[in-house]
Every structure is written in structure tokens, then in C-alpha cells.
Amino acid sequence: MCARVEAGARLHFGFQNLSLAHERLYGGVGATLDEPRVVLEADPAGAVASEDDLVAEYAERACELLDVDGANVRVEETLPRHVGLGSGTQLALATLAVVAAAHDMEPNVRERAPELGRGGRSGVGVAAFEAGGFIVDSGHPTERFTTAPPDRGEWAVPAVVARHGLPDSWRFVLVLPEAEPGRSGETEDESMRAVVENADPSVADDIATLLVRRLLPAVAEGRLEAFGDAVGALGRLNGAWYADEQGGVYRPPAGRLIDALADQPSVRGVGQSSWGPAVYGVTDASLADAARSAAEAALSDAGVDGDVRVVAPRNEGARVTRQNG
């Protein structure tokens, strides 16, 4: 059986809490994008084969979890890695799903994600893969995470506490500057440990107020400007926690791009996704061309090469298709 899986990228607006003084740690807030995408195809095989080394690694683990012999996995499209769009989680889960589908099995991604090293902090990536939309997750019990996460697989993916579809007319402008990749793996773990050890608990209180009084009402009612302003404020509050680790509220060159876009009438809620360097802004389909031009001008003014995309939100999870062959 030939299987195909298509999944969109995700934006990570920030966490609800990074202080050990509160009962729940992390608690991600983010949204799913229709593109860029990861698209994989697979056929059952006696062993694992893939021209992509990382996909081959994920496929080996997927075959172990599913108790199957192997799969031939092909990469049609992939997300840019370590730029803040959730490439690691989406690729890992897409590989699991396509291997499972090739063997006519269900992937059970939420249950198996921890075994792939996913969902250890934010649950937004897993939820985006499952159902898309705007997502808020519950975070993890602080007593289990302290300054270091449990061993791989020894956690549960945080539950989704709020999920909303985003209006079809909304768009996100993505600015992907050519810069050093965002942090991942052991480097990210070390940085997060330092952030958690020093996080000001009062910032989490401000974020809780912002989330309940501004962001959730705005997304539930489909008010674009209020939504954009709220996610921008959430990003700035998160940046206060990360300032020592990334050299400011935003990492270079994201800060310069955000400053350049902040006053543009075609864009609201400009911020940095995850560790960056990806910068996002919220706009409307009718303003897409103006938003694109503003983002291209911001790159030019900052003297940075890069790519600009204006993309739709995605209100569905990964698409899985099977075909007998």
C-alpha cells in the first residue's frame, strides 16, 4: 500500500509560564499554517530506506513502535529546519503517520510522540498535526520538569485546553531571514534550563491576564486586529524571559525586522516564532500584497537576505491518503 502524508508548519507565539514558582510549566500557544508543508510518501518494505538521513532515523523508530519490518520513505516537500516553524515535530510525526499508513495501521501520534522525543515542552506541534487551528495547551506539572525534562518518552503530551479555527480570510506574513538556525537539541535544552532557572514568575501572571482577557476572546470572535495585538504582546512578554539567552527580547536579526514591521498598517501582531529567526505578522487576504511588500522592505532595510511568504492558516490536521498498489 502506498501512503502519503501532508502536514503544515506551525507558529509558536510563546509559553504561558516558564517559572518554577507556578504549578504548571510551559503551556504553549500557537497556530497552524497551510504552508510551508512537509509531504512524505511511503511503501511497506523489509527494511527502512530513505534518502533523507533524519527521515530514515525517524522511520527506524516508527517501525520499532509499530512493530513492522520497514518502509521506503520518500520526501516530496519539507519544512526549513530550525527556523521556528516546528520542522522537527512535524517531520517526526509525518514519518510515523506515513509508515503506519503504508502498513494500514493507525499512528496514534499523541500517544507515541514522546517516544519520538516530541511534546516534551510545548504540545502545540502535536496538536497542530492532529487538528490544526489556533492552539493553547495545558503545560506540564512543574514538579515533574524542574530545570530538566524527564527522560525521553517519560512524559505525556500536554492536553489541548483551547482550540479555535481561524477565519479563512486571515493570513500570516512570514519573514525567513538568512541567519543562524534557531536553537534545537542539546543547545535548546541548555538554554531553556537557564531560562527556567531565572524566570520571573510575575511575567506568567501578566500572560495569564492577556490570554484570558484579550487573546482568547479575540480569536473566538474572529477580531483580527485584536488577535494580532494580543499575540504580539504575548511574544514581547516571552522575550523578557529569553533576553539573556538570545541577546534581547528578540534574537538578531529578528528584532530589526520586527521594529521595521511594527508600524506598518498592513500588518498586526509582529513577533518571533519560537527561537526564530522566523518572524511573523498577522494580516488579511485583502492586504496580502501590501504586507508582502512591507516585509520585503524590512529585509532590505535591515540589509538581510531572506524569503517572504504570505500564507493562510490551516484549520485541519495532517492529511493522510492511502492507495493500494
Q: Identify the CATH number of the domain in which residue 268 sits.
A: 3.30.230.120
Q: What is the DSSP string of 34-99?
A: EEEEEEEEEEE-SS-B-SSHHHHHHHHHHHHHHT---EEEEEEE-PPTTSSS-HHHHHHHHHHHHH
pLDDT of amino acid 185: 61
- Reported as a single tens digit per residue, the pLDDT across 120-163 is 999 999 999 999 999 999 999 998 776 666 777 789 999 999 99
Contacts of 164 (CB under 8 A, 6+ apart): 133, 134, 219, 220
pLDDT of amino acid 29: 98
Most distant CA atoms of the chain, gap in Å: 58
Number of domains comprising the chain: 1
- Reported as a single tens digit per residue, the pLDDT across 167-176 is 999 999 999 9
Radius of gyration (Cα) for the chain, nearest Å?
Answer: 19
pLDDT of amino acid 85: 97
- C-alpha torsion angle, residues 242, 81, 98, 39 (rounded to 10): 120
d(CA 129, CA 110): 9
Domain range for 116: 2-323
pLDDT of amino acid 233: 97
Q: Give this prediction's pTM.
A: 0.95
Across-strand partners of 281?
173
Residue with cell 538554554: 191
Sites in the chain below the pLDDT cut of 50 = none
pLDDT of amino acid 143: 86
| Phi, psi values for residue 237, rounded to 5° | -65, -40
- Residue 315 neighbours by CB distance under 10 Å: 19
pLDDT of amino acid 6: 98
**Run of H or E residues at 280:** strand 279-284
